[in-house]
Structure formats: C-alpha cells, structure tokens
C-alpha cells in the first residue's frame, strides 16, 4: 500500500525539487549581475577606464552586456544578462541591474 502512494507522490517531489533548483540558480545569477554592476560603477567613479570596468563585468558574469551612462558627477552602469534555466535550456530569462556611483 505504501509503495503505491510513493509512486503517486514521487513525481511531485521531483517537480518541487526542480523548481527549487531553478529559483536558487536565478537568485545566484541575479546577485552576480548586481555585484558586477556595482563593481563597474565603483571602478568608473574612481577614474578607471570603461575597458577596465567592462573586463570586471566580463569576469564576474561571462556573456553579460554592459551600458555606461554619465550624468554630471555620477557614473551609472547597467548590466544585462540572459540566463538559461537549468534542466530547461530553451527557456531564457533576462536579468538586469543598474548601479550609480558618485565620481570622485
């Protein structure tokens, strides 16, 4: 009797585990994108070149795109990344983060 109930419940347990892996991987990817944008904005605010900021973003999030904006005494960086979901490689989600730092 217990074996039949286990067979019925097991697919739902696997589905929940897959969804949890998916959510955690997206959270980690979003944190990496946010960290990369913050680090690039900090580099630009300290007077580093755009190429150095772009290299820092590429190192933190391979495949990410970076856009720089300067508004007066502020340097802004937007990082965008197209994340592929584990277990479902055809599904993509666009993640982005914008950071602004005051130029020193």
pLDDT, tens digit, for every residue of 3-15?
Answer: 888 888 899 999 8
Q: Which two tokens stand for residue 99?
A: 């950071």
The closest alpha carbon to 29, from 69, 54, 76, 63, belongs to 63
- The pLDDT of residue 31 is above 70: yes
- The pLDDT of residue 88 is above 90: no
Calculate mean pLDDT across residues 94-99.
96
Residue written as tokens 């019925």?
A: 8
The closest alpha carbon to 82, from 34, 40, 31, 30, belongs to 30
Q: Which of 30-39, 62-71, 81-90 has the lowest mean pLDDT?
A: 81-90
């Amino acid at each position: 009797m217990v074996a039949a109930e286990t067979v019925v419940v097991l697919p739902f347990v696997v589905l929940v585990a897959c969804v949890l892996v998916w959510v955690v991987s997206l959270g980690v990817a979003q944190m990496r994108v946010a960290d990369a944008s913050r680090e690039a904005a900090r580099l630009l605010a300290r007077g580093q070149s755009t190429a150095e900021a772009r290299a820092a973003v590429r190192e933190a999030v391979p495949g990410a795109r970076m856009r720089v904006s300067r508004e007066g005494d502020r340097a802004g960086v937007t990082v965008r990344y197209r994340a592929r979901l584990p277990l479902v490689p055809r599904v993509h989600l666009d993640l982005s983060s914008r950071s602004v730092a005051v130029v020193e």
